[in-house]
Amino acid sequence: MTAIRAVNLHKRYAGTTAVADLSFAVEPGRVTGFLGPNGSGKSTTMRMILGLDRPSGGTALVDGRPYHELRHPLRKVGALLDAKAVHGGRSARNHLLAVAQSNGLPASRVNEVLETVGLREVARRRVGGFSLGMSQRLGIAAALLGDPEILIFDEPVNGLDPDGILWIRRLMRRLAAEGRTVFVSSHLMSEMAQTADHLIVIGRGRLIADTSVEEFIGRSSQGYVRVRSPRLAEVAELIRVGEPNGDHLRVTAMSTLEIGTITARAGIPLEELTFVQPSLEAAYMELTKNSLEFTS
Ligand SMILES: Nc1ncnc2c1ncn2[C@@H]1O[C@H](COP(=O)(O)OP(=O)(O)OP(=O)(O)O)[C@@H](O)[C@H]1O
């Protein structure tokens, strides 16, 4: 059963289209990365899934229903959107107790989730004094309170130190291994490559790719050969398949050996003949380059 489904989702704010005709499905038992540059509409989409924003068109379904029709929403879906959006005067424990009580969840869950996120020792401290990493952990504790099948995390590693990042990655992998649905946004390909099984990539509110991470890596690891020569025009004419790119040629249809053999036979000197394996980040930049809100 598909856990989250967006069908022709659309969101317009005055003067801005934040999400445009967006359709995708998020399946259980894996981590699905929701990837896109800043301002591409990830938070808006997540807010529509969670019933916090009303779509201008289309629908967002959680377990086959709009969020507001779920009988026990927190038992179905837990979310971390903005970690700092909690009452700073309360202790971590009281914050979680308030969430549990107002949602008909047993108070016994509070200690369990405090333990899971490693905040037991600081449970009585005021949330207002928490670091960003501690706040993220608290937000995740709140998301886990109802022991939900579906988890939605918006940029959970933003601003965390390496320990915190590793911890969140492991937690997400564990939740998915338990058969839960994990839908997590990020603007960093490198982060998603290490955490996600599947990717939904958007740019300017539109779907760019819906693919497994494996496939994405496979597709983007084709590479090309960079050729530089003081007689570049002659090289281009000889090999015919090179694409001029500034002071060099980019060749995808020939190997370094083929190019080297042809140019050696013609007696043309080369300054450079390199096989370039693009990084995942580079592949992602290439994919989204036309959909950046601002380019520097
Ligand atoms: N309440 C709002 N009113 C007006 N415009 C908004 C509002 N919320 C978002 N937007 C606009 O909608 C677009 C998408 O924003 P959104 O926050 O969903 O993107 P994002 O991918 O989550 O970005 P980021 O990674 O920077 O959080 C942006 O152009 C943003 O300025």
Would the pTM of this model clear 0.90, i.e. be above it? no
| ipTM of the complex model | 0.92
**What pLDDT does residue 19 have?**
96
Give how far Cα 84 sits from Cα of 67, 80, 81, 128, 135, Å: 23, 10, 9, 9, 6
Q: How close is the Cα of 291 to the center of ligand 1, in Å?
A: 14
Mutate-to-test residue for ligand 1 from 10, 42, 206, highest number of ligand atoms within 8 A of CB: 42
Report the pocket of ligand 1 as residue ranges, CB < 6 Å: 13, 16, 18, 36, 38-44, 187
CA distance 246 to 250: 10
Q: Which residues contact 71 (CB under 8 A, 6 or more apart)?
A: none
Reading the block at residue 127, the tokens are 């949330």
- Whether the CB-CB separation of 213 and 197 falls below 8 Å is answered with yes
Residue nearest to atom 10 of ligand 1 (CA): 18
pLDDT digits (tens, 9 = 90+) for 97-154: 999 999 899 999 999 999 999 999 999 899 888 888 889 999 999 999 999 999 999 9
Which amino acid makes up residue 169?
R
- In terms of pLDDT, which residue wins out, 87 or 8? 8
Residue nearest to atom 25 of ligand 1 (CA): 38
Q: How close is the Cα of 206 to the center of ligand 1, in Å?
A: 13
- In terms of pLDDT, which residue wins out, 223 or 121? 121
**What pLDDT does residue 292 have?**
59
Q: How close is the Cα of 280 to the center of ligand 1, in Å?
A: 25
Q: How close is the Cα of 152 to the center of ligand 1, in Å?
A: 17
pLDDT digits (tens, 9 = 90+) for 281-294: 777 777 777 665 54
DSSP 159-185: T--HHHHHHHHHHHHHHHHTT-EEEEE
Reading the block at residue 184, the tokens are 């997590």
CA distance 148 to 72: 10
